[in-house]
Structure 1
Protein backbone atom coordinates (compact mmCIF):
# COMPACT_ATOMS: atom_id res chain seq x y z
CA UNK A 1 0.00 0.00 0.00
CA UNK A 2 1.38 3.37 -1.01
CA UNK A 3 2.06 5.67 1.92
CA UNK A 4 0.08 8.93 1.59
CA UNK A 5 2.09 12.08 0.99
CA UNK A 6 1.82 14.87 3.57
CA UNK A 7 -0.25 17.92 2.70
CA UNK A 8 1.50 21.28 2.99
CA UNK A 9 0.12 24.72 3.67
CA UNK A 10 1.24 27.54 1.39
CA UNK A 11 1.92 29.86 4.35
CA UNK A 12 4.99 29.74 6.56
CA UNK A 13 8.07 31.53 7.86
CA UNK A 14 11.61 30.49 8.76
CA UNK A 15 14.83 32.17 9.84
CA UNK A 16 18.44 30.95 10.02
CA UNK A 17 21.71 32.62 10.98
CA UNK A 18 25.37 32.00 10.22
CA UNK A 19 28.83 33.51 10.62
CA UNK A 20 32.32 33.04 9.24
CA UNK A 21 35.36 35.20 9.95
CA UNK A 22 34.40 38.85 10.10
CA UNK A 23 31.04 38.27 8.39
CA UNK A 24 27.68 37.25 9.85
CA UNK A 25 24.35 36.86 8.11
CA UNK A 26 20.63 36.32 8.65
CA UNK A 27 18.41 34.48 6.18
CA UNK A 28 14.65 34.99 6.37
CA UNK A 29 12.20 33.21 4.09
CA UNK A 30 8.41 33.47 4.08
CA UNK A 31 5.66 31.94 1.99
CA UNK A 32 2.12 33.03 1.18
CA UNK A 33 -0.66 31.72 -1.07
CA UNK A 34 -0.06 31.73 -4.82
CA UNK A 35 -1.47 30.22 -7.99
CA UNK A 36 1.95 28.79 -8.95
CA UNK A 37 5.48 28.66 -7.53
CA UNK A 38 7.19 32.07 -7.51
CA UNK A 39 10.47 32.91 -5.72
CA UNK A 40 11.87 36.37 -5.12
CA UNK A 41 15.30 36.80 -3.52
CA UNK A 42 17.21 39.74 -2.14
CA UNK A 43 20.90 39.41 -1.31
CA UNK A 44 24.05 41.60 -1.42
CA UNK A 45 25.64 42.10 -4.82
CA UNK A 46 28.26 39.56 -5.75
CA UNK A 47 26.37 36.64 -4.21
CA UNK A 48 24.47 35.59 -7.31
CA UNK A 49 25.17 31.93 -6.61
CA UNK A 50 22.94 32.17 -3.54
CA UNK A 51 19.89 32.88 -5.70
CA UNK A 52 20.61 29.90 -7.96
CA UNK A 53 20.94 27.62 -4.94
CA UNK A 54 17.73 28.98 -3.40
CA UNK A 55 15.76 28.34 -6.59
CA UNK A 56 17.01 24.77 -6.78
CA UNK A 57 16.12 24.06 -3.13
CA UNK A 58 12.70 25.70 -3.34
CA UNK A 59 11.84 23.75 -6.49
CA UNK A 60 12.90 20.52 -4.77
CA UNK A 61 10.82 21.03 -1.61
CA UNK A 62 7.89 23.27 -2.56
CA UNK A 63 5.25 22.95 -5.28
CA UNK A 64 3.18 26.13 -4.98
CA UNK A 65 3.20 29.52 -3.25
CA UNK A 66 4.83 32.96 -3.40
CA UNK A 67 8.22 32.71 -1.67
CA UNK A 68 10.33 35.68 -0.54
CA UNK A 69 13.91 35.10 0.62
CA UNK A 70 16.10 37.85 2.12
CA UNK A 71 19.83 37.55 2.96
CA UNK A 72 21.32 40.29 5.15
CA UNK A 73 25.13 40.23 5.60
CA UNK A 74 27.04 42.25 8.21
CA UNK A 75 30.80 42.58 8.58
CA UNK A 76 32.59 43.14 11.86
CA UNK A 77 34.87 46.17 11.87
CA UNK A 78 38.55 45.15 12.08
CA UNK A 79 41.25 46.99 14.02
CA UNK A 80 44.23 46.40 11.76
CA UNK A 81 47.43 48.31 12.80
CA UNK A 82 48.12 51.56 10.98
CA UNK A 83 51.34 51.72 8.95
CA UNK A 84 53.17 54.71 7.55
CA UNK A 85 53.92 54.51 3.84
CA UNK A 86 57.36 56.06 4.08
CA UNK A 87 58.19 55.95 0.38
CA UNK A 88 54.98 57.71 -0.55
CA UNK A 89 55.43 60.24 2.26
CA UNK A 90 58.93 61.03 0.99
CA UNK A 91 57.56 61.83 -2.44
CA UNK A 92 54.90 64.09 -0.88
CA UNK A 93 57.54 65.94 1.19
CA UNK A 94 59.74 66.44 -1.85
CA UNK A 95 56.83 68.03 -3.68
CA UNK A 96 56.08 70.15 -0.62
CA UNK A 97 59.65 71.49 -0.53
CA UNK A 98 59.42 72.47 -4.18
CA UNK A 99 56.16 74.31 -3.51
CA UNK A 100 57.66 75.90 -0.37
CA UNK A 101 60.60 77.13 -2.44
CA UNK A 102 58.13 78.96 -4.62
CA UNK A 103 56.95 80.92 -1.60
CA UNK A 104 54.17 78.69 -0.31
CA UNK A 105 53.78 77.98 3.42
CA UNK A 106 55.13 74.63 4.66
CA UNK A 107 52.45 71.90 4.92
CA UNK A 108 51.01 70.99 8.32
CA UNK A 109 51.43 67.48 9.71
CA UNK A 110 47.69 66.75 9.88
CA UNK A 111 47.34 67.77 6.24
CA UNK A 112 50.14 65.42 5.24
CA UNK A 113 48.62 62.50 7.14
CA UNK A 114 45.21 63.16 5.58
CA UNK A 115 46.59 62.56 2.07
CA UNK A 116 45.28 59.27 0.79
CA UNK A 117 48.03 56.63 0.68
CA UNK A 118 50.24 58.14 3.38
CA UNK A 119 48.61 56.02 6.09
CA UNK A 120 48.00 52.35 5.24
CA UNK A 121 45.11 50.81 7.24
CA UNK A 122 46.18 47.27 6.46
CA UNK A 123 42.88 46.37 4.80
CA UNK A 124 43.18 44.12 1.79
CA UNK A 125 40.79 43.72 -1.13
CA UNK A 126 38.59 40.64 -0.88
CA UNK A 127 40.04 37.77 -2.89
CA UNK A 128 37.86 35.67 -5.25
CA UNK A 129 38.45 32.54 -3.18
CA UNK A 130 37.35 34.35 -0.02
CA UNK A 131 34.12 35.50 -1.67
CA UNK A 132 33.47 31.98 -2.96
CA UNK A 133 33.94 30.57 0.55
CA UNK A 134 31.57 33.19 1.98
CA UNK A 135 28.97 32.43 -0.69
CA UNK A 136 29.20 28.69 0.06
CA UNK A 137 28.76 29.29 3.79
CA UNK A 138 25.75 31.54 3.22
CA UNK A 139 24.35 28.92 0.83
CA UNK A 140 24.32 26.34 3.63
CA UNK A 141 22.29 28.73 5.80
CA UNK A 142 19.90 29.39 2.92
CA UNK A 143 19.37 25.63 2.57
CA UNK A 144 18.65 25.37 6.31
CA UNK A 145 16.11 28.20 6.13
CA UNK A 146 14.27 26.72 3.15
CA UNK A 147 14.17 23.29 4.81
CA UNK A 148 12.77 24.91 7.97
CA UNK A 149 10.14 26.70 5.86
CA UNK A 150 9.13 23.41 4.25
CA UNK A 151 8.82 21.80 7.69
CA UNK A 152 6.68 24.70 8.94
CA UNK A 153 4.41 24.42 5.88
CA UNK A 154 3.95 20.70 6.46
CA UNK A 155 3.12 21.24 10.14
CA UNK A 156 0.52 23.86 9.21
CA UNK A 157 -0.76 21.54 6.50
CA UNK A 158 -1.36 18.76 9.05
CA UNK A 159 -3.43 21.18 11.12
CA UNK A 160 -5.43 22.21 8.05
CA UNK A 161 -6.20 18.58 7.21
CA UNK A 162 -7.82 18.18 10.62
CA UNK A 163 -9.88 21.35 10.08
CA UNK A 164 -10.93 20.28 6.57
CA UNK A 165 -11.92 16.81 7.78
CA UNK A 166 -14.12 18.47 10.41
CA UNK A 167 -15.82 20.61 7.77
CA UNK A 168 -16.44 17.52 5.63
CA UNK A 169 -18.05 15.79 8.59
CA UNK A 170 -20.37 18.76 9.01
CA UNK A 171 -21.19 18.80 5.28
CA UNK A 172 -21.97 15.06 5.43
CA UNK A 173 -24.17 15.55 8.50
CA UNK A 174 -26.12 18.38 6.85
CA UNK A 175 -26.53 16.33 3.68
CA UNK A 176 -28.11 13.48 5.63
CA UNK A 177 -30.25 15.95 7.55
CA UNK A 178 -31.56 17.26 4.23
CA UNK A 179 -32.28 13.70 3.10
CA UNK A 180 -34.20 12.99 6.31
CA UNK A 181 -36.29 16.15 6.23
CA UNK A 182 -39.99 15.27 6.48
CA UNK A 183 -40.80 17.02 3.20
CA UNK A 184 -38.49 14.61 1.38
CA UNK A 185 -40.25 11.49 2.64
CA UNK A 186 -42.25 9.60 -0.05
CA UNK A 187 -45.64 10.19 1.52
CA UNK A 188 -44.97 13.87 2.07
CA UNK A 189 -43.84 14.21 -1.55
CA UNK A 190 -46.97 12.46 -2.83
CA UNK A 191 -49.24 14.65 -0.73
CA UNK A 192 -47.51 17.81 -1.85
CA UNK A 193 -47.58 16.86 -5.53
CA UNK A 194 -51.22 15.75 -5.29
CA UNK A 195 -52.22 19.15 -3.91
CA UNK A 196 -50.25 21.00 -6.60
CA UNK A 197 -51.65 18.86 -9.41
CA UNK A 198 -55.18 19.37 -8.03
CA UNK A 199 -54.60 23.11 -8.14
CA UNK A 200 -53.60 22.82 -11.77
CA UNK A 201 -56.74 20.80 -12.56
CA UNK A 202 -58.92 23.46 -10.98
CA UNK A 203 -57.27 26.32 -12.84
CA UNK A 204 -59.59 28.66 -14.71
CA UNK A 205 -59.50 28.59 -17.62
CA UNK A 206 -58.64 24.87 -17.68
CA UNK A 207 -55.19 23.95 -18.89
CA UNK A 208 -54.79 21.74 -21.98
CA UNK A 209 -53.81 18.16 -21.15
CA UNK A 210 -50.38 18.61 -22.76
CA UNK A 211 -49.69 21.73 -20.68
CA UNK A 212 -51.01 19.98 -17.59
CA UNK A 213 -48.60 17.08 -18.15
CA UNK A 214 -45.70 19.51 -18.59
CA UNK A 215 -46.55 21.38 -15.37
CA UNK A 216 -46.89 18.13 -13.43
CA UNK A 217 -43.53 16.88 -14.75
CA UNK A 218 -41.95 20.21 -13.78
CA UNK A 219 -43.38 20.00 -10.26
CA UNK A 220 -42.04 16.47 -9.85
CA UNK A 221 -38.59 17.50 -11.09
CA UNK A 222 -38.46 20.52 -8.80
CA UNK A 223 -39.57 18.52 -5.79
CA UNK A 224 -36.96 15.77 -6.23
CA UNK A 225 -33.55 16.64 -4.78
CA UNK A 226 -32.26 13.09 -4.65
CA UNK A 227 -29.84 13.73 -7.51
CA UNK A 228 -28.29 16.68 -5.68
CA UNK A 229 -27.98 14.65 -2.48
CA UNK A 230 -26.31 11.78 -4.34
CA UNK A 231 -23.80 14.15 -5.92
CA UNK A 232 -23.07 15.79 -2.56
CA UNK A 233 -22.33 12.37 -1.09
CA UNK A 234 -20.05 11.59 -4.04
CA UNK A 235 -18.19 14.89 -3.61
CA UNK A 236 -17.72 14.22 0.11
CA UNK A 237 -16.22 10.80 -0.63
CA UNK A 238 -13.94 12.31 -3.29
CA UNK A 239 -12.72 15.06 -0.95
CA UNK A 240 -11.95 12.51 1.76
CA UNK A 241 -9.99 10.43 -0.75
CA UNK A 242 -7.95 13.49 -1.74
CA UNK A 243 -7.09 14.29 1.88
CA UNK A 244 -6.07 10.66 2.41
CA UNK A 245 -4.01 10.67 -0.79
CA UNK A 246 -2.11 13.80 0.26
CA UNK A 247 0.39 15.75 -1.79
CA UNK A 248 -0.38 18.88 -3.80
CA UNK A 249 -4.19 18.51 -3.89
CA UNK A 250 -5.08 22.16 -3.32
CA UNK A 251 -6.19 22.96 -6.86
CA UNK A 252 -8.28 19.81 -7.16
CA UNK A 253 -9.98 20.51 -3.83
CA UNK A 254 -10.64 24.08 -4.94
CA UNK A 255 -12.40 22.80 -8.07
CA UNK A 256 -14.40 20.34 -5.98
CA UNK A 257 -15.59 23.25 -3.80
CA UNK A 258 -17.24 24.73 -6.90
CA UNK A 259 -19.13 21.46 -7.38
CA UNK A 260 -20.19 21.47 -3.72
CA UNK A 261 -21.54 24.98 -4.12
CA UNK A 262 -23.42 24.11 -7.28
CA UNK A 263 -25.31 21.25 -5.58
CA UNK A 264 -26.04 23.29 -2.44
CA UNK A 265 -27.42 26.17 -4.52
CA UNK A 266 -29.66 23.80 -6.50
CA UNK A 267 -30.86 22.21 -3.27
CA UNK A 268 -31.90 25.61 -1.93
CA UNK A 269 -33.55 26.65 -5.20
CA UNK A 270 -35.67 23.46 -5.23
CA UNK A 271 -36.68 23.79 -1.62
CA UNK A 272 -40.25 24.74 -0.80
CA UNK A 273 -39.83 23.87 2.86
CA UNK A 274 -38.49 26.14 5.61
CA UNK A 275 -36.50 23.36 7.27
CA UNK A 276 -34.87 22.23 4.03
CA UNK A 277 -34.01 25.82 3.18
CA UNK A 278 -32.43 26.26 6.62
CA UNK A 279 -30.34 23.12 6.12
CA UNK A 280 -29.37 24.27 2.62
CA UNK A 281 -28.16 27.64 3.89
CA UNK A 282 -26.15 25.96 6.66
CA UNK A 283 -24.69 23.66 4.04
CA UNK A 284 -23.61 26.62 1.89
CA UNK A 285 -22.00 28.33 4.89
CA UNK A 286 -20.03 25.21 5.82
CA UNK A 287 -18.92 24.69 2.22
CA UNK A 288 -17.65 28.29 2.17
CA UNK A 289 -15.65 27.65 5.36
CA UNK A 290 -14.22 24.54 3.73
CA UNK A 291 -13.30 26.52 0.60
CA UNK A 292 -11.55 29.24 2.61
CA UNK A 293 -9.27 26.67 4.22
CA UNK A 294 -8.64 24.92 0.90
CA UNK A 295 -7.19 28.21 -0.42
CA UNK A 296 -4.23 27.65 1.93
CA UNK A 297 -3.45 24.14 0.69
CA UNK A 298 -0.50 23.62 -1.66
Structure 2
Protein backbone atom coordinates (compact mmCIF):
# COMPACT_ATOMS: atom_id res chain seq x y z
CA UNK A 1 0.00 0.00 0.00
CA UNK A 2 1.36 3.40 -0.90
CA UNK A 3 1.98 6.05 1.72
CA UNK A 4 4.19 8.90 2.91
CA UNK A 5 5.21 10.08 6.34
CA UNK A 6 7.51 12.81 7.62
CA UNK A 7 8.83 13.43 11.11
CA UNK A 8 11.09 16.13 12.52
CA UNK A 9 12.97 16.64 15.77
CA UNK A 10 14.92 19.72 16.89
CA UNK A 11 18.04 19.91 19.03
CA UNK A 12 20.00 22.98 20.15
CA UNK A 13 21.90 23.35 16.88
CA UNK A 14 20.41 20.62 14.66
CA UNK A 15 17.16 19.63 13.02
CA UNK A 16 16.59 15.99 12.13
CA UNK A 17 14.15 15.05 9.37
CA UNK A 18 12.95 11.52 8.63
CA UNK A 19 10.90 10.82 5.49
CA UNK A 20 9.32 7.42 4.80
CA UNK A 21 7.78 6.45 1.47
CA UNK A 22 6.13 3.12 0.72
CA UNK A 23 4.84 1.31 -2.35
CA UNK A 24 2.90 -1.92 -2.54
CA UNK A 25 4.91 -5.15 -2.38
CA UNK A 26 4.26 -8.70 -1.17
CA UNK A 27 7.30 -8.63 1.12
CA UNK A 28 9.04 -5.96 3.20
CA UNK A 29 11.79 -4.35 1.14
CA UNK A 30 13.36 -1.75 3.43
CA UNK A 31 15.97 0.73 2.20
CA UNK A 32 17.62 3.29 4.51
CA UNK A 33 19.59 6.35 3.47
CA UNK A 34 21.14 8.20 6.38
CA UNK A 35 24.26 10.24 7.17
CA UNK A 36 27.37 8.27 8.12
CA UNK A 37 27.25 9.50 11.71
CA UNK A 38 23.90 7.73 12.18
CA UNK A 39 25.03 4.37 10.79
CA UNK A 40 25.44 3.14 14.34
CA UNK A 41 21.66 3.52 14.76
CA UNK A 42 20.70 1.67 11.56
CA UNK A 43 19.81 -1.59 13.30
CA UNK A 44 17.51 0.16 15.80
CA UNK A 45 15.82 2.10 13.00
CA UNK A 46 15.28 -1.03 10.93
CA UNK A 47 13.76 -2.84 13.91
CA UNK A 48 11.48 0.09 14.71
CA UNK A 49 10.25 0.41 11.11
CA UNK A 50 9.87 -3.35 10.58
CA UNK A 51 7.56 -3.62 13.59
CA UNK A 52 5.32 -0.88 12.20
CA UNK A 53 5.34 -1.80 8.50
CA UNK A 54 4.68 -5.47 7.72
CA UNK A 55 5.22 -5.35 3.95
CA UNK A 56 5.85 -2.98 1.08
CA UNK A 57 8.78 -1.35 -0.69
CA UNK A 58 9.80 1.18 1.94
CA UNK A 59 12.39 3.93 1.41
CA UNK A 60 13.61 5.88 4.45
CA UNK A 61 15.56 9.13 4.14
CA UNK A 62 17.26 10.71 7.17
CA UNK A 63 18.72 14.18 6.84
CA UNK A 64 20.21 16.62 9.33
CA UNK A 65 20.49 20.42 9.18
CA UNK A 66 22.99 22.12 11.47
CA UNK A 67 23.39 25.79 12.33
CA UNK A 68 27.11 25.44 13.04
CA UNK A 69 29.90 24.58 10.63
CA UNK A 70 31.03 21.01 11.19
CA UNK A 71 33.58 18.85 9.44
CA UNK A 72 34.71 15.28 10.04
CA UNK A 73 38.36 16.44 9.76
CA UNK A 74 40.15 17.17 13.06
CA UNK A 75 43.49 18.98 13.47
CA UNK A 76 45.70 17.89 16.35
CA UNK A 77 46.85 21.35 17.41
CA UNK A 78 49.41 20.18 19.96
CA UNK A 79 51.05 17.85 17.48
CA UNK A 80 50.99 20.53 14.78
CA UNK A 81 52.73 23.00 17.08
CA UNK A 82 55.38 20.45 18.09
CA UNK A 83 56.14 19.49 14.49
CA UNK A 84 56.41 23.16 13.55
CA UNK A 85 58.73 23.91 16.50
CA UNK A 86 61.03 21.03 15.61
CA UNK A 87 61.19 22.02 11.96
CA UNK A 88 61.86 25.62 12.89
CA UNK A 89 64.67 24.56 15.25
CA UNK A 90 66.17 22.39 12.52
CA UNK A 91 66.14 25.30 10.07
CA UNK A 92 67.70 27.69 12.62
CA UNK A 93 70.37 25.09 13.45
CA UNK A 94 71.11 24.80 9.74
CA UNK A 95 71.26 28.55 9.26
CA UNK A 96 68.21 28.63 7.02
CA UNK A 97 65.54 31.28 7.35
CA UNK A 98 62.14 29.77 8.15
CA UNK A 99 59.45 30.26 5.49
CA UNK A 100 56.21 29.55 7.32
CA UNK A 101 54.13 29.73 4.14
CA UNK A 102 56.10 26.74 2.91
CA UNK A 103 56.31 24.98 6.30
CA UNK A 104 52.58 24.87 7.06
CA UNK A 105 51.62 22.60 4.10
CA UNK A 106 54.51 20.28 5.02
CA UNK A 107 53.40 20.02 8.63
CA UNK A 108 49.78 19.39 7.66
CA UNK A 109 50.88 16.29 5.74
CA UNK A 110 52.82 14.80 8.63
CA UNK A 111 51.38 11.71 10.41
CA UNK A 112 48.37 12.21 12.68
CA UNK A 113 48.29 16.00 12.35
CA UNK A 114 44.99 15.78 10.48
CA UNK A 115 42.65 12.87 11.21
CA UNK A 116 39.18 12.00 9.99
CA UNK A 117 36.85 10.51 12.53
CA UNK A 118 33.17 9.77 12.83
CA UNK A 119 31.76 11.11 16.04
CA UNK A 120 29.34 9.01 18.03
CA UNK A 121 25.98 10.63 18.56
CA UNK A 122 24.79 11.56 22.02
CA UNK A 123 21.91 9.91 23.83
CA UNK A 124 19.84 13.04 23.31
CA UNK A 125 20.46 12.93 19.57
CA UNK A 126 19.58 9.22 19.46
CA UNK A 127 16.28 9.94 21.22
CA UNK A 128 15.57 12.76 18.75
CA UNK A 129 16.24 10.41 15.81
CA UNK A 130 13.89 7.80 17.28
CA UNK A 131 11.19 10.41 17.94
CA UNK A 132 11.40 11.74 14.37
CA UNK A 133 11.16 8.19 12.98
CA UNK A 134 8.12 7.40 15.15
CA UNK A 135 6.43 10.61 14.01
CA UNK A 136 7.07 9.70 10.37
CA UNK A 137 5.70 6.19 10.95
CA UNK A 138 2.56 7.60 12.59
CA UNK A 139 1.97 9.88 9.62
CA UNK A 140 2.63 7.00 7.21
CA UNK A 141 0.14 4.80 9.08
CA UNK A 142 -2.53 7.51 8.97
CA UNK A 143 -1.94 7.96 5.24
CA UNK A 144 -2.23 4.23 4.58
CA UNK A 145 -5.33 3.87 6.76
CA UNK A 146 -7.06 6.65 4.84
CA UNK A 147 -6.16 5.00 1.54
CA UNK A 148 -7.27 1.63 2.93
CA UNK A 149 -10.70 3.01 3.86
CA UNK A 150 -11.15 4.29 0.30
CA UNK A 151 -10.08 0.92 -1.15
CA UNK A 152 -12.43 -1.02 1.13
CA UNK A 153 -15.34 1.21 0.16
CA UNK A 154 -14.58 0.58 -3.52
CA UNK A 155 -14.32 -3.18 -2.95
CA UNK A 156 -17.65 -3.34 -1.13
CA UNK A 157 -19.32 -1.36 -3.90
CA UNK A 158 -18.09 -3.91 -6.43
CA UNK A 159 -19.30 -6.79 -4.25
CA UNK A 160 -22.72 -5.13 -4.22
CA UNK A 161 -22.64 -4.97 -8.01
CA UNK A 162 -21.84 -8.68 -8.24
CA UNK A 163 -24.82 -9.49 -6.06
CA UNK A 164 -26.98 -7.14 -8.11
CA UNK A 165 -26.01 -8.94 -11.33
CA UNK A 166 -26.66 -12.27 -9.62
CA UNK A 167 -30.21 -11.20 -8.82
CA UNK A 168 -30.71 -10.04 -12.40
CA UNK A 169 -30.05 -13.62 -13.52
CA UNK A 170 -33.27 -14.88 -11.87
CA UNK A 171 -35.81 -13.72 -14.50
CA UNK A 172 -33.86 -15.48 -17.25
CA UNK A 173 -33.61 -18.83 -15.47
CA UNK A 174 -37.20 -19.97 -16.03
CA UNK A 175 -37.18 -18.75 -19.61
CA UNK A 176 -33.93 -20.61 -20.17
CA UNK A 177 -35.48 -23.86 -18.91
CA UNK A 178 -38.45 -23.52 -21.26
CA UNK A 179 -36.13 -22.70 -24.16
CA UNK A 180 -33.96 -25.77 -23.56
CA UNK A 181 -37.04 -28.02 -23.22
CA UNK A 182 -38.54 -26.65 -26.45
CA UNK A 183 -35.25 -27.13 -28.31
CA UNK A 184 -34.99 -30.78 -27.21
CA UNK A 185 -38.58 -31.53 -28.23
CA UNK A 186 -38.10 -29.80 -31.55
CA UNK A 187 -34.98 -31.82 -32.31
CA UNK A 188 -36.77 -35.05 -31.43
CA UNK A 189 -39.69 -34.13 -33.67
CA UNK A 190 -37.32 -33.65 -36.57
CA UNK A 191 -35.95 -37.15 -36.03
CA UNK A 192 -39.47 -38.60 -36.55
CA UNK A 193 -38.99 -41.45 -34.10
CA UNK A 194 -41.24 -42.84 -31.40
CA UNK A 195 -40.12 -42.05 -27.85
CA UNK A 196 -41.31 -43.03 -24.39
CA UNK A 197 -42.80 -39.78 -23.14
CA UNK A 198 -42.43 -40.71 -19.47
CA UNK A 199 -38.78 -41.65 -19.94
CA UNK A 200 -38.23 -38.50 -21.98
CA UNK A 201 -39.63 -36.33 -19.20
CA UNK A 202 -37.41 -38.05 -16.64
CA UNK A 203 -34.32 -37.54 -18.77
CA UNK A 204 -35.16 -33.90 -19.41
CA UNK A 205 -35.67 -33.28 -15.70
CA UNK A 206 -32.30 -34.90 -15.01
CA UNK A 207 -30.63 -32.81 -17.75
CA UNK A 208 -32.23 -29.54 -16.65
CA UNK A 209 -31.19 -30.17 -13.04
CA UNK A 210 -27.58 -30.21 -14.22
CA UNK A 211 -28.10 -26.71 -15.60
CA UNK A 212 -29.57 -25.41 -12.35
CA UNK A 213 -27.40 -22.66 -10.77
CA UNK A 214 -29.28 -22.25 -7.49
CA UNK A 215 -26.47 -23.85 -5.50
CA UNK A 216 -23.85 -21.58 -7.10
CA UNK A 217 -25.94 -18.47 -6.37
CA UNK A 218 -26.34 -19.45 -2.71
CA UNK A 219 -22.61 -20.06 -2.30
CA UNK A 220 -21.79 -16.81 -4.09
CA UNK A 221 -24.10 -14.92 -1.71
CA UNK A 222 -22.36 -16.52 1.27
CA UNK A 223 -18.93 -15.57 -0.09
CA UNK A 224 -20.08 -11.97 -0.61
CA UNK A 225 -21.43 -11.82 2.94
CA UNK A 226 -18.18 -13.24 4.34
CA UNK A 227 -16.17 -10.75 2.26
CA UNK A 228 -18.04 -7.87 3.89
CA UNK A 229 -17.59 -9.32 7.39
CA UNK A 230 -13.82 -9.74 6.96
CA UNK A 231 -13.41 -6.29 5.40
CA UNK A 232 -15.29 -4.67 8.29
CA UNK A 233 -13.84 -6.52 11.27
CA UNK A 234 -10.34 -7.89 10.66
CA UNK A 235 -6.93 -6.23 10.68
CA UNK A 236 -4.53 -7.21 7.90
CA UNK A 237 -7.38 -8.73 5.91
CA UNK A 238 -5.81 -8.41 2.45
CA UNK A 239 -4.66 -12.03 2.11
CA UNK A 240 -7.97 -13.44 3.38
CA UNK A 241 -9.98 -11.18 1.06
CA UNK A 242 -7.86 -12.52 -1.78
CA UNK A 243 -8.82 -16.09 -0.88
CA UNK A 244 -12.51 -15.20 -0.66
CA UNK A 245 -12.41 -13.49 -4.06
CA UNK A 246 -10.95 -16.69 -5.54
CA UNK A 247 -13.89 -18.66 -4.16
CA UNK A 248 -16.29 -16.09 -5.60
CA UNK A 249 -14.61 -16.58 -8.95
CA UNK A 250 -15.18 -20.34 -8.86
CA UNK A 251 -18.93 -19.90 -8.35
CA UNK A 252 -19.19 -17.27 -11.07
CA UNK A 253 -17.27 -19.46 -13.52
CA UNK A 254 -19.56 -22.41 -12.77
CA UNK A 255 -22.60 -20.23 -13.35
CA UNK A 256 -21.14 -19.25 -16.70
CA UNK A 257 -20.49 -22.85 -17.74
CA UNK A 258 -24.06 -23.81 -16.83
CA UNK A 259 -25.72 -20.67 -18.18
CA UNK A 260 -26.68 -21.91 -21.67
CA UNK A 261 -28.44 -18.58 -22.20
CA UNK A 262 -27.09 -15.35 -23.73
CA UNK A 263 -28.53 -12.91 -21.17
CA UNK A 264 -27.15 -14.92 -18.27
CA UNK A 265 -23.77 -15.08 -20.00
CA UNK A 266 -23.74 -11.29 -20.31
CA UNK A 267 -24.42 -10.93 -16.58
CA UNK A 268 -21.71 -13.49 -15.79
CA UNK A 269 -19.22 -11.45 -17.85
CA UNK A 270 -20.17 -8.34 -15.86
CA UNK A 271 -19.64 -10.22 -12.60
CA UNK A 272 -16.23 -11.43 -13.78
CA UNK A 273 -15.25 -7.89 -14.73
CA UNK A 274 -16.06 -6.58 -11.24
CA UNK A 275 -14.30 -9.55 -9.64
CA UNK A 276 -11.09 -8.90 -11.59
CA UNK A 277 -11.10 -5.31 -10.33
CA UNK A 278 -11.60 -6.63 -6.79
CA UNK A 279 -8.61 -8.98 -7.13
CA UNK A 280 -6.41 -6.12 -8.36
CA UNK A 281 -7.40 -3.85 -5.50
CA UNK A 282 -7.05 -6.53 -2.83
CA UNK A 283 -3.32 -6.72 -3.63
CA UNK A 284 -3.01 -3.15 -2.32
CA UNK A 285 -4.43 -4.04 1.10
CA UNK A 286 -2.25 -5.34 3.91
CA offsets 1:136-175 (integer angstroms, 9 cap, x no match):
3212211111121111111111222221221122112111
After TM superposition, the structure 1 = structure 2 runs for residues 25-44 of structure 1, keeping only pairs within 5 Å, are 25-44=16-35
Q: Normalised by the size of structure 2, how large is the TM-score? A: 0.79
Establish whether residue 61 from structure 1 lines up as the match of residue 52 from structure 2: yes
Partner of 2:242: 254
Contact 1:57 1:146 in 2 (8 A): no
After TM superposition, the structure 1 = structure 2 runs for residues 84-163 of structure 1, keeping only pairs within 5 Å, are 86-98=81-93, 106=97, 108-117=99-108, 128=120, 130-163=121-154
After TM superposition, give the deviation of residue 233 of structure 1 in Å: 0.7
Partner of 1:5: none
Unaligned residue ranges in structure 1 (runs of 5+): 1-9
- Size of the aligned set, in residue pairs, is 276
| Greater fraction helix | 2
Unaligned residue ranges in structure 2 (runs of 5+): none
Change (3 A) 1:50 1:171: farther
Partners of 2:202 and 2:26 in 1: CA distance: 47
**Superposition CA RMSD, Å:** 3.6
More relative contact order in 1 or in 2 (CA 8 Å, sep 6+)?
1
Q: Specify which of 185, 197, 201 is matched with residue 198 of structure 1.
A: 185
Contact 1:200 1:212 in 2 (8 A): no
Partners of 2:202 and 2:283 in 1: CA distance: 43
Contact 2:37 2:118 in 1 (8 A): no
Q: Normalised by the size of structure 1, how large is the TM-score? A: 0.76
CA offsets 1:17-76 (integer angstroms, 9 cap, x no match):
334345443311122222244433232335345333333433443333332222233555
